């Protein structure tokens, strides 16, 4: 029973991994006259637009913005799709003109490695730091209690001396 609970719990913890592969959804700024009649192409257009930055706004996608430039870029995305470009080619078309800055999601390349790996490195560093710290206080506490035991036992006549058997049982209980 404990095993089943732990397995379910671990699956629960792993669910975040899904987030990395499924894109998020967001609002539209598309006008009715921009919408393509081919719904598959339109869906692609919306997905691509959500990843393109509105260059005259703050942190909004072209899908999300009223600006003229955003509208122009939305129309261009659809035009390129109609001409037969792949998603990547549509992005390339805009990157050629505006650089990587036009992508809302930074590209994954050697330059941006630190950005993408950063959070993982930070978390690992934190975990290691906690582990080292914990070992440290374990050592200090054991040392302190050893020192204290020696002094106390000498002066305190009320300390019950455990025989070997009882000591063994005590140790086992404490270890749990």
Distance CA 11, CA 30 (A): 39
Distance CA 39, CA 169 (A): 73
Q: Measured from the CB atom, is 92 or 152 closer to another protein? A: 92
Q: Measured from the CB atom, is 4 or 163 closer to another protein? A: 4
Cβ at position 157, least distance to another protein in Å: 27
Q: Measured from the CB atom, is 114 or 157 closer to another protein? A: 114
> Across-strand partners of 61?
53
Cβ at position 171, least distance to another protein in Å: 16
CB contact at 8 A, 74 and 63: yes
Q: Measured from the CB atom, is 78 or 165 closer to another protein? A: 78
Among all chains, which residue has been given the structure tokens 């009715």?
Answer: 32
Distance CA 52, CA 63 (A): 8
Cβ at position 144, least distance to another protein in Å: 9
Helices 39-50 & 87-98, crossing angle to 10 degrees?
A: 40
CB contact at 8 A, 78 and 70: no
Cβ at position 96, least distance to another protein in Å: 7
Q: Measured from the CB atom, is 14 or 157 closer to another protein? A: 14
Cβ at position 158, least distance to another protein in Å: 24
Cβ at position 164, least distance to another protein in Å: 26
Distance CA 103, CA 95 (A): 8
Distance CA 35, CA 78 (A): 9
Q: Measured from the CB atom, is 41 or 104 closer to another protein? A: 104
């Amino acid at each position: 029973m404990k095993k089943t609970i732990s397995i379910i719990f671990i699956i629960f913890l792993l669910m975040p991994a899904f987030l990395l592969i499924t894109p998020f959804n967001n609002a539209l700024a598309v006008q009715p006259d921009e919408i393509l009649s081919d719904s598959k192409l339109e869906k692609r257009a919306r997905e691509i637009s959500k990843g393109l930055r509105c260059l005259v706004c703050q942190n909004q996608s072209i899908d999300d913005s009223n600006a003229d430039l955003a509208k122009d870029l939305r129309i261009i995305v659809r035009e390129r799709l109609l001409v037969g470009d792949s998603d990547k080619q549509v992005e390339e078309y805009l990157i050629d003109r505006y650089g990587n800055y036009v992508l809302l999601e930074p590209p994954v390349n050697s330059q941006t490695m630190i950005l993408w790996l950063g959070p993982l490195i930070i978390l690992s560093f934190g975990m290691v730091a906690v582990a080292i710290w914990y070992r440290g206080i374990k050592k200090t506490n054991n040392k302190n209690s050893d020192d204290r035991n020696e002094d106390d036992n000498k002066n305190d006549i009320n300390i019950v001396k455990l025989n070997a058997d009882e000591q063994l049982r005590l140790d086992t209980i404490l270890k749990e």
